[in-house]
Chains A and B, each alone.
Chain A
């Protein structure tokens, strides 16, 4: 159907792109993770497993990794708790306002990540909107200083930023459910709650899995929110990687941590995709 030349022309750009921007960097990272740094701050190209040993032996690394996963897990849960009802309402009850409300959910995605993170800084800070309001209402005498620079601030900001990413696949899954299934369920005597739990929710599981994966994976790798709002207790694993590639100048260790994260994320994606397949029926 298509000529050889045409096929080559069409496949070449993405192939080059994947090689240059994906395959080569990962290969380089892979190599770095087995190298080391000399006392005189030069990269020594001698193959060893020291970086991985350090990763396991030094508690700070895997503890930060665990904390990051715990933050990501909370972001995932809150995004689902916000995104699911929103998607459900939009898909089943919004009627004519559906398109408008859909746009309202999407519009925040057009605003720069940085702006949204800074906005939370303005809201949560000691002189921020929230504290001023509390004091004005005489609910507190002194500003609450645990709001900003804490894991709480990070979870809140990331939930705000990644909820649309959870919402979208859930909304798509709900829109995909044939409405006559809902009617059939009612027709067979199921109350609205029974219809939801026995028909709508099971059929939306692929969307829930995709949305949960988005929220978790994107949060896990985040470094700006913890940098701006996390404080010392809200540090995440990516902040460590950033500093290892920056001021600390230990690229090999940074590469080793990155690869460890990559393994975690890829296994999560594979796992989630398997589950999604199990729960899709069309």
Chain B
């Protein structure tokens, strides 16, 4: 049996100026395969027209969550609601939800055009309407020229576009995308990220996008729901999740960070040789400090800055910036500086105490 896990407080996004109505509400959804819990009580609200990314490592349960929403898996417990309708009692073909599959799942015996028309044909729409809507959809993804080709005759990126058109032509209320870009090479992926995002803005349909790539999640999403071992760690906007990670796991998963284990006593944090003032109550505390918030100390001294001396052990080139590992007497800090040819050696670092964000521990789950 899994030990009882501490309830995870989910920091929600700050209310946006244009708060939209809830489209889909996932309530306490859990799923076990045999004795193996894949999802444990996930609750999530998806707003009309938003781009929500479910981010997680492989095995975090993100694809299972998506398949439960699509109707390919049944939740062991919990409910799905779309407006006033209970969604989880409907078979997949009765849900106004469409999916773009990881491997696109285009029908090999049908042409591009017939693939896109599939949903409208099975719904028995009039042929004139089908022709018009398929034309529009293919136009939107710039695949008109390949309408008569079989899927095996077009490239991966093109198949991707057809899969999108095939889903969007049905005007779903919600589009699910299961790692749709993972099969593409890096350049094409970046291009598709931009295209997908602008397409989503244009059609105004809510997208739920599943990925394991944190960079992709940051670039595309309105909100990110970070899933770990079947539980949501944090749901927030990319900026919020980056600047105020709720847990140590989130801080490490999204970007680089330094985790500082400190002890608070009478308004002072002590962490090795470092110390700064805080408003936190007494007791142990964990802090996340981003490498870009640490810099080489300047001559002018300020009381709000924390300083420490150290020796550079590694300097890695990352294009515009360098990531520098500094050994500060047992405490290793990673800092980000502007790229430079000059090798650093003995350095004095400083950071602003307010940039050390307190995070909760992420206990192991199994």
Q: Which residues of chain A have a CB within 8 Å of any CB of chain B?
A: 178, 180-181, 183-191, 194, 198-199, 202-203, 279, 281-282
Specify which chain B residues have a CB less than 8 angstroms from the CB of A189 in the assembled complex. Answer: 93-94, 119, 122-123, 170
Closest to B102 in A: A180
Instruction: Give, as a whole number of angstroms, the nearest-CB distance from B13 to chain A.
Output: 29
Smallest beta-carbon distance B38→chain A, Å: 18
Q: What are 24 A-B interface contacts by the 8 Å CB criterion?
A: A180-B103, A181-B105, A181-B108, A183-B92, A183-B101, A184-B105, A184-B107, A185-B107, A185-B122, A186-B92, A187-B70, A187-B93, A187-B167, A188-B118, A189-B93, A189-B170, A190-B119, A191-B93, A194-B122, A198-B121, A202-B109, A281-B108, A281-B152, A282-B152
B113 to chain A, nearest CB (A): 14
Q: Is B166 an interface residue (CB 8 A)?
A: yes
Mask of B63-80 contacts with A, CB within 8 angstroms, 1/0: 000000011100000000
Q: Name the residue in A178, A187, A190, A281 with the highest tally of chain B Cβ atoms < 10 Å from its Cβ.
A: A187
**Most chain-A Cβ atoms within 10 A of its Cβ — which of B71, B106, B109, B123?**
B109
Cα–Cα, bound, A198→B108 (Å) = 12
| Docked CA distance A90–B177 (Å) | 31
- The reply to whether the CB of B53 lies closer than 8 angstroms to some CB of chain A is no
CA distance A145 to B72 in the complex (A): 54
Q: In the complex, what distance in Å separates the CA atom of A184 from the CA atom of B97?
A: 11
Tell me if B70 and A279 are in contact (CB < 8 A).
no
Supplied contacts A180-B105, A188-B122, 18 more A-B pairs, CB within 8 Å? A178-B105, A180-B101, A185-B118, A186-B71, A186-B92, A187-B71, A187-B167, A188-B98, A188-B119, A188-B170, A190-B93, A198-B121, A198-B122, A203-B108, A203-B109, A281-B108, A281-B109, A281-B152
**Contacts A194-B122, A281-B152 given; does A187 touch B109 at CB 8 Å:** no
Is A184's CB under 8 angstroms from B109's CB? no
What separation, in Å, do the CA atoms of A203 and B108 have in the docked complex?
A: 8
- Which of B108, B109, B122 touches A191 (beta carbons < 8 Å)? B122
Candidate in A178, A186, A194, A202 with the most chain B CB atoms within 10 angstroms: A186
B150 contacts which of A181, A188, A202, A281 (Cβ < 8 Å)? A281
Which chain A residues lie closer than 8 Å to B106 at the CB level?
A: 184
The CA-CA distance from A181 to B166 in the complex, in Å, is 13
> Across the interface, do B103 and A188 meet the contact criterion of CB distance under 8 Å?
no
Interface bracket on B: 20 to 34
Encode B84-110 as 1/0 by CB contact (under 8 A) with A. Answer: 000000011110011101010111110
How many residue pairs link A and B with beta carbons under 8 A? The number is: 70
Instruction: List B contacts of A282 (CB < 8 A).
Output: 108, 152
- A194: B residues at CB distance < 8 A: 122
List which B128-182 residues lie within 8 A (CB) of chain A.
150, 152, 166-167, 170
What is the bound-complex CA distance between A180 and B105, given in angstroms? 6
B166 CB contacts on chain A under 8 angstroms: 188
With A and B bound together, what is the CA distance between A279 and B109 in angstroms?
8
In Å, the complex CA distance between A15 and B106 comes to 43
The CA-CA distance from A281 to B98 in the complex, in Å, is 25
Query: For A188, what are the chain B residues with a Cβ–Cβ distance below 8 Å?
Result: 93, 98, 118-119, 122, 166-167, 170
Distance to closest chain A CB from B17 (angstroms): 34
Q: Is there an interface contact between A184 and B99, defined as CB atoms closer than 8 Å?
A: yes
Question: What distance in Å separates the Cβ of B91 from its nearest Cβ neighbour in chain A?
Answer: 7
List chain B residues, Cβ under 8 A from A281.
108-109, 150, 152
- Complex alpha-carbon distance, A188 and B98, angstroms: 6
Chain A residues within 8 Å of B150, by CB:
281
Q: List, in ascending order, chain B residues with CB within 8 A of A180's CB.
A: 101, 103, 105
Bound-state Cα–Cα, A187 to B99, Å: 7
Q: Which 9 A-B pairs have the closest CB atoms?
A: A281-B108, A188-B119, A184-B105, A180-B105, A190-B122, A186-B92, A186-B93, A187-B99, A194-B122
In the assembled complex, which residues on chain B have CB atoms less than 8 Å from the CB atom of A183? 70, 72, 92, 99, 101, 105
A281 to B106, CA, bound (A): 12
Complex Cα distance, B72 from A188, in Å, reads 13
CB distance from B119 to the nearest CB of A (A): 4
B164 to chain A, nearest CB (A): 13
Contacts of A199 in B (CB 8 A): 107
CA–CA, A22 and B99, complex, Å: 54
Minimum CB–CB distance for A278 against chain B, Å: 10
B105 touches A198 (CB 8 A): no
Q: Which listed residue (A181, A187, A191) contacts B107, Cβ 8 A?
A: A181
Cα distance A188–B164 when bound, in Å?
12
Residues of A within 8 A of B94 (CB): 189
Complex CA distance for A281 and B115, rounded to whole angstroms = 14
